[in-house]
Amino acid sequence: MLILTIETSTPMERVAVVRNGSVLAELMETVGRGHTEKLLGVVEEVLSRSSVRLRELDVIAVSIGPGRFSGLRVGLATAKGLAAASGLPVAPVESLAALAESARPYGGLVCPMLDARRGEVYAALFRLGDGRERMLRDVAVAPAAMIERVQAAAGGESVLFLGSGVAACADELSASLGDRARFPDDEVSTATPLAMAAIVEELGPPDPAEAATLEPVYLRGI
């Protein structure tokens, strides 16, 4: 399957073309203002670098949230525009599920956390094994509250924490969970293209007509 992935749930924008588990081209950029104008150009550059034309793709995968309000809005609008021009389907990918899937090599319990600002994180809990089992639903809460929920759900098991929300509470995680709090060897702040593509391949491309009805998942009105 030939997939264009657009991940804009955090300030680290990632756009890539993935074919059958291999990244053909990828661009990453920390963005601020001007996000709307730049994203389409990034998509065009990634397609050019991968020597793939838009209509040759099988599907466009886009992060649907939760995450940064403006990023989700612009990412989804861009994906919808590309779909309207090409007739391609748009596959919505949950940001936290894709971030958890990015930790596939580690396995076990994984808690993806994104910075939600206002002293909160977007977070969930998954178990990675043969598949990906959701243990806790997506929430926007204070880090301390999330740590309590994870402790209750994990029992005595260790948990891998990753994402842009970890930095704000790494000391608290270690204090509460001790050695049971694990962190990736390399920083993973946002979902990888391979993780997004893997989720799309699990479900298969949606009906192209569904693209028009897609909306971001914000969890709160920000």
Query: Do the domain assignments include residue 175?
Result: yes
In terms of pLDDT, which residue wins out, 64 or 30? 64
DSSP 152-211: HHHTT--EEEESTTSGGGHHHHHHHHGGGEE--SS---S--HHHHHHHHHHH----GGGG
- What's the mean per-residue pLDDT of the chain? 93
Query: Do the domain assignments include residue 118?
Result: yes
d(CA 133, CA 179): 23
Same domain, residue pair 25 and 78: yes
pLDDT at 118: 87
Same domain, residue pair 12 and 86: yes
Mark out the alpha helices in the chain (DSSP H runs). Answer: 35-49, 69-86, 95-101, 143-154, 170-177, 193-203
CATH classification at residue 209: 3.30.420.40
d(CA 210, CA 207): 6
* Per-residue model confidence as pLDDT tens digits over 169-217: 888 998 999 999 999 988 788 999 999 999 999 988 899 999 999 999 9
Same domain, residue pair 89 and 109: no
pLDDT at 32: 64
pLDDT at 222: 38
pLDDT at 37: 61
For the four alpha carbons of 35, 64, 118 and 155, in that order, the dihedral sign comes to: negative
The number of domains in the chain is: 2
Per-residue pLDDT band for 221 (boundaries 50, 70, 90) equals very low
Query: Do the domain assignments include residue 126?
Result: yes
Same domain, residue pair 53 and 125: no
Per-residue pLDDT band for 220 (boundaries 50, 70, 90) equals low
Same domain, residue pair 111 and 158: yes
Same domain, residue pair 168 and 152: yes
Same domain, residue pair 91 and 196: yes
pLDDT at 10: 93
Query: Do the domain assignments include residue 218?
Result: no
Same domain, residue pair 16 and 81: yes
pLDDT at 187: 77
Query: Do the domain assignments include residue 23?
Result: yes
d(CA 69, CA 194): 23
Whether 117 and 70 have beta carbons less than 8 Å apart is answered as no
Same domain, residue pair 90 and 118: no
**136, β-bridge pairs:** 125
Average pLDDT over residues 107-128: 95
Same domain, residue pair 43 and 72: yes
The residue whose two tokens read 């994990």 is 154
Cβ atoms < 10 Å from Cβ of 32: 8
* Per-residue model confidence as pLDDT tens digits over 31-62: 765 455 689 999 999 999 999 999 999 999 99
pLDDT at 91: 97
| Residue 6 clears pLDDT 80, i.e. is over it | yes
d(CA 103, CA 183): 10
CATH classification at residue 152: 3.30.420.200
Query: Do the domain assignments include residue 219?
Result: no
CA distances from 214 to 137, 166, 189 (A): 20, 29, 25
pLDDT at 62: 98
Query: Do the domain assignments include residue 221?
Result: no
Same domain, residue pair 37 and 115: no
Same domain, residue pair 44 and 110: no
Query: Do the domain assignments include residue 222?
Result: no
Q: Which domain holds residue 44?
A: 2-95+191-213
The CA dihedral of 173, 176, 180, 184, to the nearest 10 degrees, is 10
Cβ atoms < 10 Å from Cβ of 195: 24
pLDDT at 157: 95
